Amino acid sequence: MAKDFYDTLGISKGASDDEIKKAYRKLAHKYHPDKAGGDEKKFKEINEAYQTLSDKTKRAQYDQFGQTFGSGGQGGFGGFSSQGGFDFSGFQGGFSGDFGEGFGDIFSDIFGGGRSRSQKQPGNDVQVDVEISFEEMVNGADRDINLYLKTECDVCHGTGGEPGAKEETCLTCKGSGKVQQTVRSMFGSFAQVSTCPTCQGSGKTYSKKCHKCGGDGRIKQEKKINIKIPAGIDSGQTISIRGAGEAGEKGAPNGNLYVNVHVRPHREFQRKNNDILSSQHVSFAQAVLGDKIPIKTIEGQVTMKVPSGTQSGETFRIKGKGVPVLQGSSRGDHLVKIVVDVPRKLSRQQKKLVEQLRELD
């Protein structure tokens, strides 16, 4: 039975190029023979499927004719050797030949691909959740939060060396900040360049490590950060504060802080876009005859006119009493839904008046 390349990658026939590439990355990492739990046969099937579906021409042929299209052995792939493996005769430190665009990038994720990985690692990003009231959502707020995270050492200022200690060339990397190792796999040997584990890419060490951070250049400590929450932010939105995350290695950039904002529900108000919604009960007489009634808004009480003949469910708009537009100068309105209270029990006189009203209709 012919193999279904779409089933092999676990995608639909209408999958986009990005979805195909993402599925391949995930499966290649999972089944690579050099990894624990890898499966060489499954890995070859995944590669075969990807080579076809990542090439627009081959994919079109496959969709029309199935797996038997073309010539050249296994589905017409010139990149396979007669022994069922890959032909790397044209390999010059990067993937080429019959592998298609983006194939080398994927393999570099697995093996390093000969690319330098000597860049110092930036600090980790940090995420926190902050809850605010409905009023704070409308007016904006300040929050002080305490985080326990890696910060730059205040003794060595991130160098890792004891103040006054002699600066020396790293013996492991000879000052380059990089080390090279050879990775062997079913595809052959690959040179992988990575950050020197001794100097973390700086190319230098010190005769004595910092007594406070032990040479890392960073210490874990509690840090208070003030967060300004803008007026108009909605529940579920995130504030990004660049550089407020953990400190990077040996002078590398700090990570970022992401603040996920959650707005507590209000007992009387609801938000819809930039409008605030509420309901107001009025008596049957007020609805019939009209009246001026007090309405509670987020900014205090105002008076609103209810026209005579108002029906239950009608909505009236109070301009400019809604939620400010985020990072804007305008704001929404307050919408009041009228609920007419029809009395359940009437006195004899009330019944008589209603009957008279009915006779006039």
Helices assigned H by DSSP within the chain: 5-9, 17-31, 40-53, 56-65, 103-111, 134-139, 284-289, 348-360
Does 137 lie in the same domain as 257? yes
CA distance 98 to 265: 58
Residue 148 lies in a domain: yes
Q: How far is residue 121 from each of residues 71, 246, 281, measured CA to CA in Å?
A: 47, 11, 61
CATH number for position 146: 2.10.230.10
Q: Which of 239, 263, 287 is the last residue of a domain?
A: 263
Does 159 lie in the same domain as 90? no
The residue type of 289 is: L
Does 284 lie in the same domain as 251? no
Residue 256 lies in a domain: yes
Q: Which of 229, 263, 297 is the last residue of a domain?
A: 263
Residue 143 lies in a domain: yes
Residue 117 lies in a domain: no
Which pLDDT belongs to residue 101?
Answer: 42
Which pLDDT belongs to residue 98?
Answer: 40
Q: Which residue has the tokens 């006039």?
A: 360
Q: Which of 54, 88, 111 is the last residue of a domain?
A: 111
pTM over 0.85: no
Does 170 lie in the same domain as 42? no
Helices assigned H by DSSP within 32-114: 40-53, 56-65, 103-111
Does 232 lie in the same domain as 151? yes
10-residue stretch averages of pLDDT, the chain, 361 residues long: 80 88 85 74 85 84 64 38 38 39 47 47 90 96 93 90 89 85 68 80 85 90 93 93 89 90 95 96 92 95 95 96 91 96 83 77 65
Residue 213 lies in a domain: yes
Q: How far is residue 159 from each of residues 119, 203, 245, 252, 284, measured CA to CA in Å?
A: 16, 11, 19, 11, 77
For residue 244, which of 126, 92, 74, 87 has the smallest C-alpha distance? 126
Which pLDDT belongs to residue 207?
Answer: 87
Residue 317 lies in a domain: yes
Does 287 lie in the same domain as 225? no
Residue 121 lies in a domain: no
Does 303 lie in the same domain as 259? no
Does 279 lie in the same domain as 253? no
Which pLDDT belongs to residue 84?
Answer: 38
Does 199 lie in the same domain as 309? no
Domain housing 280 = 270-360
Residue 29 lies in a domain: yes
Q: How many domains does the chain have?
A: 3
Does 256 lie in the same domain as 134? yes
- One-character DSSP codes across 216-246: SSEEEEEEEEEEEEPTT--TT-EEEETT-SP
The residue type of 103 is: F
Which pLDDT belongs to residue 172?
Answer: 87
Which pLDDT belongs to residue 160?
Answer: 87
Does 141 lie in the same domain as 99? no
Q: Which two tokens stand for residue 220?
A: 């874990």
CATH number for position 338: 2.60.260.20
